[in-house]
Each structure stands twice: as structure tokens, then as C-alpha cells.
Amino acid sequence: MPIEKRWVVKPQGDPATVAMLATELGISPVLANLLVQRGIETVEKANKFFKPDLADLHDPFLMKDMEKAVERVEQAVERGEKIMVYGDYDVDGCTAVALVYKFLRQIGHKNLTFYIPDRYTEGYGISVRGIDVAARKGVSLIIALDCGIKATEKVLYAKTKGVDFIICDHHLPAEEIPQAVAVLDPKRVDCSYPFDELSGCGVGFKLVQAYAQKNGIPFNQILDLLDLLVVSIASDIVPLSDENRILAYFGLQNLNRRPSKGLLSIIKICGLDKHQITIDDIVFKIGPRINAAGRMRMDEHDENASPSGGHAAVELLIEGNESEAAEFGKVIDSYNQDRKSIDRSVTQEAHDYIENNPQLKALKSTVIYNPKWMKGIVGIVASRLIETYYRPTVVLTMSNGFVTGSARSVPGFDLYQAVESCSDLLENFGGHMYAAGLTMKPEHVEEFTRRFNAFVEENIDPQMLIPQVDVDSELLFSDITNEFRANLNRFQPFGPGNTSPVFMTRSVSNQGDAKLVGLEQEHLKMDLIQRQKPNTKIPAIAFQQPTHYEWVRGGRAIDVCYQIVENHYRGMVTTQLRVKDIKPVK
């Protein structure tokens, strides 16, 4: 049985402010309330929110070291030096590499290469192997994206090989900043850039913007790169506020109107070429395909090329020929199919193991280890286990003689602290409150498991182990008009910092033929009416919620919380409720 969820209605906005915004903007009080809940309390702020403007992007030269970075790139371009664009193997890293590489190629610099480290043989970030490949190829400048902020020793090693570094990162720095030519990171303590939540690709874009600004290149000549940037913003789950909202807004326009050939191939494979692409489409369809390449192990590679599947992802993203891009797209999609197959198999194994171990099932956390599982998918499996058991989870496997794994948390619990409390057992670890990676010697697994579980037991609030649905406000079905939906669309793009609103409606019931759909009959499809307003029938889908099927089919009353979405089918656009949770009214 699924765990019953708590519904928590968010604090409502000041009634006078809500009424003023509703009147001045000509929108419903429910939508005006959403603005106030997001800290938008004036008409001027609301207009800026509804109409993002590229003119409101911050000056890139406000970022520390930007002048140095631009000067070094200018020097390399003028001298025809060989530049390596280097990035992490996830979506953020691959899009960042593609964006900077495409820009340098666009301004006529041909002496270029790129490098994505292999997850299995090199691991995350700057690698000695990558630097050696650069030196062997005659590279004199590496532009590192989405990594490098802690690579102090690697940067010094590169200097001995005659290779300079420019670092473009967005992760938290250590006390010591690498001695690179320039280190661009808005999270640096000594950096006064006004927004520190850019993605790694976003920091790369600021370098491109600064170079263009200084060299008289019109902004509209770099505008086409924003399709890559919005894929990074959505996939890396950075807040969709401030500069990210502007960049994502215009990036989505590009993705829908004129995507690059590589992204177009993925869009077609996903079947997204027939309707308006949203942030959700990137998160659940486009991003995972790019990510899958970096997760898979490559068997053969040229010693002078990056050995990673991430290399293939970048090849796709920089390809300018549509038929070539379509071929790369097929390769990337095959990685994703393989990834999904392995992911399903390992998740099932993990489920079976927990279900067959009552002691493990009874704990407030999960630590599970199998040396045969593939390193690239343990993070996904940890997230899947939380969907079922809803508690802090660590999934471990074996790689290169060490036990390595990923940890994921539930809202409110600081996972990083739990991992850090076992730091004396770990070779290395990193991450943040809700996700972490860790490595240890095999002999420490048992003690790590004991201590991690004990830390969670002692420190977690029992309320955190109950899934919570945050509800923005209550709504009547009769309020959901076409005008309401059109105005709600103006709140997009949705994501962290501007989540898709969740509404609650009481005492509704199914009218018609409720049915279970999906390969395993796991989704509940229904047509809902509000009992006091029976003329307001709205189609609804409850994904992964077959539990209340019999109750709903019988036409009995339920309370629902849901998001309002557009359903596109054969050229028709209709309103659909994406149900987050159902409570039978007994």
C-alpha cells in the first residue's frame, strides 16, 4: 500500500494586495494570490514576471575574473591557439561544452577540441588523463565547464604541461581557489555577481556573453545558443527565478521555434515536435536521453579521444547537419533504452531485497549494496526507492576496487550531514542537502551502514517520513475557464523557485467510465465533476495511483489536489487535471 500523504495548504497572500493585483492586472484573485505567494506584490514586478526581458540580464563583467577570462580567450583566438572545451558528463556539462564550442566555432576559431571524462575510469571533474590528452594534442588553454572549482592540484599539474585553465563552475568552492587564469563561479565568497544560482552551462553562457559584448558581437548572434542553456537549466534543477527565468523563457522559444539540429533529433525521437515543449518535457524526456550517454560504460575508444558516452552526446549537440544529427540521436536514444532496461532491473532487485528483509524495511533509512550493479544508474535507483519507501536512501556498488554510490533524501532532511558524520570511513564524498556521492573501501560498508542508519534514526523528524503535497490554494472547478488557463500559462516556465501550482478541490466525483490505463494498469483515468456544479466536467489522470480505482469508479466523493495542464491531441488543446493525490470522502 502507498504511504498516505499530508496535504499542507501554503499561507495565503495579503487580501488587500491580492485584490489590488487582480483588479490592476485583470486576472482572477486565485492567480493574483499565486503572484503574492511568489513574492510579487506590485504591478511593476508582475509585468516583469509575465514578460521576461533580455535587457534585464545582469552584466557578465560583474562576475569576478570575467575580464581576465575574456582577455585570455581573445589572446587564444588571435594567436590561433588550440583550445579544449572540457565538461562534466551530465546534461549540464555536455550542454555547456556544446554551447561554448559552438560559439568559438561561430566566431571563426577552428583550432578546437572538446573532452568529456569517463564516469567509470576518470570519475567526476578534471582528470589527469584529460590534461595529458590536452597536452598531447598541443592544447594551450582548457575552458572547464560545470567542474573545476576544487581542482587545485590538477590546475597546477596542467601548468607543468604548459596548459592554462579558465574555470566556469557553479558548485560551492573550497577555501582554496585553483590558480587558474580565471575562475568564474558566482558562489565564490569574493564574487559580487547579483545571482548565484546559474547552472554550469549558465556560467559558460556568461563568458560567451561577455566576449560578445566586448567584441561588438550583437546579442542576437548568441541568442540561438539558449536552446542548449534551457536544457541545462531544466535538467540541473536550478531555481527558475531571476536570470534563470529570463534565459529559460527565451530558451524555450528557441527550442520550440528553431532548435539546433542535435536537439531537434531528440525532440523528434521523443515525439515532442507536435506540441509546445515545456520544462517538464526537458526534465522527463530530453534531459534523460543526454544524461544516459554519460551513464553508460563504453567498451572501446581511441586513446586520443574522450572515451565517454558523454562525448557522443556533445557530438550530437554540436552537429549542424540534420541527417547526421538524426543518426547521433538514434545512438543516444539506444543508450537511453539500455539505461532504462538496466535501471528497471536493478530497481526491481533492490525492491525485492528490501521486501524480503523485514528488519531493513522497518528502518527509517535505506542503505543497500550490490557489487554487480552499474555505477551509472545507482542515483536513479535511489530516487526510485524513495518513491516507494520515502526515506533517506543510499545505493552502493563496486567500481575500480572501491565501493561507490549515490545518496538521496526526502524534503527537510539534510542528507549531506548524515554522510559527513561518517566521513572518517569514506575515501571521498560530495554533494548537498538532498543528494550526495560517496566512495569507501569495501571493509567499511558494514560500519557505514550502521552509522548512517543510526544518524538518521536520531536526527530525522518523523513528519519528514510522510510525503507532503504543498497546495497553493483551494479552487472550484467552475473557476477553471479557458481564460484562467491562458493566464496560468503566463506563469511558465515552471520549475524550482516557481513550481507549477497545485490546487485542491473538495467533494468531486467521477462521471463516466473511470479506467486503469498504462502497460501495467498503473494509472487512473477519469472525468471529474464538482457535485454542486455538475456542468463542470474535467478530464483527469492520476499517474501511479490505481489504489482508489473501485471507489472512484463507483462515483463516490473524493477530494483531489492537482496541477492544471494542457492536453494536446490531434491538433486539439484541452484542459486536463494531473492529479497529485486522492482522498476518499468517507
Enter the C-alpha cell of residue 347.
530497481
- Tell me the pTM: 0.87
Give just the sign of the alpha carbon dihedral 292, 298, 301, 307.
Answer: positive
| Cα Rg of the chain, angstroms | 25
From CA 361, how far away is CA 2, in angstroms rounded? 14
Q: Look up the CATH number of domain 56-335.
A: 3.90.1640.30
Checking if the pLDDT of 456 tops 60, the result is: yes
Q: Which residues pair with 523 in a beta bridge?
A: 517
Enter the C-alpha cell of residue 66.
570575467
The full DSSP string for 31-94 is: HHHHHHHTT--SHHHHHHHHS--GGGSPPGGGSTTHHHHHHHHHHHHHHT-EEEEEE-SSHHHH
Enter the C-alpha cell of residue 469.
503535497
- Identify the residue whose cell numbers are 507549477: 500
Q: Which backbone phi and psi does 552 adopt, to 5 degrees?
A: -65, -45
From CA 305, how far away is CA 302, in angstroms rounded? 5
Q: Which backbone phi and psi does 319 adopt, to 5 degrees?
A: -70, 130
Q: Which residues pair with 575 in a beta bridge?
A: 566
Q: Which backbone phi and psi does 178 adopt, to 5 degrees?
A: -55, 145
Residues of the chain with CATH 2.40.50.460: 468-584
Checking if the pLDDT of 301 tops 50, the result is: no
Determine the pLDDT at residue 399.
86
- The top-scoring range by mean pLDDT among 69-83, 304-318, 520-534 is 69-83
> Hey, what CATH class is 357-465 in?
alpha beta
Determine the pLDDT at residue 192.
95
Q: Which residues contact 428 (CB under 8 A, 6 or more apart)?
A: 438, 439
Kindly state the percentage of the chain with pLDDT values over 90.
73
Residue type, 191: C
Determine the pLDDT at residue 297.
54
What is the pLDDT averaged over residues 315-323? 91
DSSP state of 286: I
- Tens of pLDDT, residue by residue over 530-577, are 877 667 889 999 998 999 999 999 999 999 999 999 877 777 778 999
- The top-scoring range by mean pLDDT among 123-137, 243-257, 278-292 is 243-257
Determine the pLDDT at residue 432.
76
The Cβ of residue 398 has, within 10 Å, a number of other Cβ atoms equal to: 17
Residues of the chain with CATH 3.10.310.30: 357-465
CATH 3.30.450.70 fits 468-584, yes or no: no
The b-or-e profile of 11-36 (16+ CB within 10 A means b, else e) is: eebeeebbebbbeebebbbbbbbbbb
Determine the pLDDT at residue 306.
42
What is the pLDDT averaged over residues 139-150? 95
Report whether 545 contacts 562 (CB < 8 A).
no
Determine the pLDDT at residue 147.
93
From CA 228, how far away is CA 519, in angstroms rounded? 33
Enter the C-alpha cell of residue 341.
532496461
Determine the pLDDT at residue 295.
66
Checking if the pLDDT of 329 tops 50, the result is: yes
Report whether 237 contacts 383 (CB < 8 A).
no
* Range scoring the smallest mean pLDDT among 108-112, 330-334, 418-422, 526-530: 330-334
Enter the C-alpha cell of residue 299.
567498451
Confidence of residue 1 (pLDDT cuts 50, 70, 90): low
